[in-house]
Structure 1
Amino acid sequence: MSKDSPIGIFDSGVGGTSIWKEIHELLPLEHTIYLADSDNAPYGEKPEEEIKRLSVKNTEKLLEMGAKIIVVACNTATTNAIKHLRSTYNLPFIGIEPAIKPAALYSRKKCIGILATKGTLSSELFAKTSDLYSKDTKVVEVVGSGLVELIERGRKDSPEMEKLLTSLLQPMIDAEIDYLVLGCSHYPFIIPTLKKILPPKVSFIDSGMAVAKQTRLVLRSLDLLTESRQHKPEFFTNGDPHILDRIIPAPSDTFSISYMDF
């Protein structure tokens, strides 16, 4: 592996592009390769062994493409599979976990909400993190059932999405949370709808920038930060490329998208 090898990123679909955006902005010279496993989305309702199998599949493909580091841009895959990946492969993995710590720290009302998938909220890693950082804070956990599916279908701004979120978020509104942790990399794309439903006092926290900074830190510590020219980001999906094209937070002429069966 060399400094000019790519940063590999994978997610259960298009949501992890919210993580890619932060990495690309912080490390613009780096070559990034993104895998959207949309054909198998969502991961959140799958059993742990299936999540591990899919994570291994994605990892193997990124290794074939020469990745020097792999970012697991999926909360469910991180909480259920990253320990297995780190023990199996000899390269660094960066995971993404719900940002419970800053939410609990900043909350004045000591009442926060966590919107995440079933796979994340039921994982051992999430339980440990929540117990560690939210002892003095009321935590309202809500499973975002159906949200990833709508986003993957290009329906993130639809009336259907607003109706579903209105129903899901009612327990958080009733509890008067002041911070909402977005525990899935898909969810930053529905912040405009979340703002329409939740009181203005509610702040949102996701893990994108923290993941980007950790990626830079690890690459720097291994002397693997690139010193060459900027590369054009590459995106690959086994789903509909048009949906990925519409959701990537960058001008369409600055990256490439290809369909790939993986």
Structure 2
Amino acid sequence: MASLNYDWRDPSLPIGALDSGLGGLSVLREIRKALPLEDLLFACDCGKAPWGDRPGSWIEDRVMKIAGFLTAHRVKAIVVACNTATSAAIDRLRSEFPFPVIGIEPAVKPAVRMTKDGVVGVLATTRTITSNRLESLIERFAGNDRVIPVACPGLMEQVEAGEFHTTKTRRIIEKYVGPLIDQGADTLVLGCTHYPFLADEIQAVAGKDVVIIDPSPAVARFLVQRLTEEGSLRKAAGRTAVSRFWCTGNPDDRTETLQKLWSPEVRMESLEDAWPPLRDAL
């Protein structure tokens, strides 16, 4: 386990979060709602995204390098706001760092509880769909219900481009969601953190009676629980919480979408300039 040169239980320290791209902001916004006093640091690998079709060892290496950047900023917890990264690297992260490491997984268990017709669709990246973690979730919780995993190449890229309600985005969603509805799915799990930003479009394609499950609020609640257990929640009011954002690639290319998803006042900073180990070649 890594030896940190700071007291990670200090309540004044920030919370770190990471993702392959901007989708992790769907988790971060739930964290901000639940923890309005906390400073938040978000680092994403837009320059190398998407991760969903990358080898697991490559993803693990990238996650560990970004985690190194966050620990250099003395975080008291890391949220892996990415299903793909959780599958590939959560065990390594938890073995390396003593502070809470929170991951995210497709919400199969609540979906099975909520389905009325016994058919659940899981929308995710190729890496998540083929992961042992998803297979295990289905084996543990599906019971007699049918869980249909669907890989959705292209959806993440639409979010990264800020194309939430375009004709192209609707057509991609129809390609993946339409067959699930035809097979009787009445519950859809958003198994990639980019997809909540397309929830309105997914709902429109699926129909108003189809339940769509976003696991992000549950991740925020679990983070609150773990920080409470460790005694590291920030309780002092009277200050404005800080939110900072870094990405690989050209930060100017991502700032406009970041401002749409977070607020007009924020800007993206260069992760590679701040943390040279991330300048590695593909």
Same fold (TM over 0.5): yes
With over 3 angstroms needed to count, the CA separation of the structure-2 counterparts of 1:247 and 1:47, relative to structure 1, is farther
Cα deviation digits, residues 41-82 of structure 1 (max 9, x gap): 111101110110111011001001111100000000001110
Q: Distance in 2 between matches of 1:194 and 1:40?
A: 26
Indicate the SS of the match to 1:184. Answer: coil
Question: Tell me, which stretches of 5 or more residues in structure 2 are unaligned?
Answer: 1-7, 273-277
Q: Could you tell me which residue of structure 2 aligns to residue 260 of structure 1? A: 271
Question: Which one of 84, 93, 107 corresponds to residue 101 of structure 2?
Answer: 93
Q: Could you tell me which residue of structure 1 aligns to residue 47 of structure 2? A: 39
With over 3 angstroms needed to count, the CA separation of the structure-2 counterparts of 1:256 and 1:225, relative to structure 1, is farther
Q: Could you tell me which residue of structure 2 aligns to residue 223 of structure 1? A: 231
Show structure 1 runs of 4+ deviating over 4 A: none
Superposition deviation, residue 256 in structure 1: 4.8
Superposition deviation, residue 244 in structure 1: 3.7
* Equivalent runs, 1:99-178 vs 2, <5 Å: 99-178=107-186
Residues 48-57 or 165-174, more deviating:
165-174
Q: Distance in 2 between matches of 1:27 and 1:170?
A: 37
Question: Which one of 229, 232, 241 corresponds to residue 254 of structure 2?
Answer: 241
Superposition deviation, residue 21 in structure 1: 0.5
Superposition deviation, residue 99 in structure 1: 0.5
Cα deviation digits, residues 109-141 of structure 1 (max 9, x gap): 111110001111111111111111112111121
Residues 233-242 or 100-109, more deviating:
233-242
Aligned residues: 260
Q: Could you tell me which residue of structure 1 aligns to residue 28 of structure 2? A: 20
Letter in 2 for 1:252: P
Superposition deviation, residue 84 in structure 1: 1.2
- The TM-score, its normalising length taken from structure 1, stands at 0.95
Give RMSD over aligned pairs.
1.4
Question: Tell me, which stretches of 5 or more residues in structure 1 are unaligned?
Answer: none
With over 3 angstroms needed to count, the CA separation of the structure-2 counterparts of 1:166 and 1:8, relative to structure 1, is same
Q: Could you tell me which residue of structure 1 aligns to residue 59 of structure 2? A: 51
Indicate the SS of the match to 2:58. Answer: helix
- The TM-score, its normalising length taken from structure 2, stands at 0.88
Letter in 1 for 2:79: V
CA contact (8 A) 2:203 2:212 kept: no
Q: Distance in 1 between matches of 2:204 and 2:267?
A: 33
Indicate the SS of the match to 2:88. Answer: helix
* Equivalent runs, 1:162-201 vs 2, <5 Å: 162-201=170-209
Q: Distance in 2 between matches of 1:157 and 1:260?
A: 29
Letter in 1 for 2:264: S
With over 3 angstroms needed to count, the CA separation of the structure-2 counterparts of 1:211 and 1:55, relative to structure 1, is same
Residues 153-162 or 204-213, more deviating:
153-162
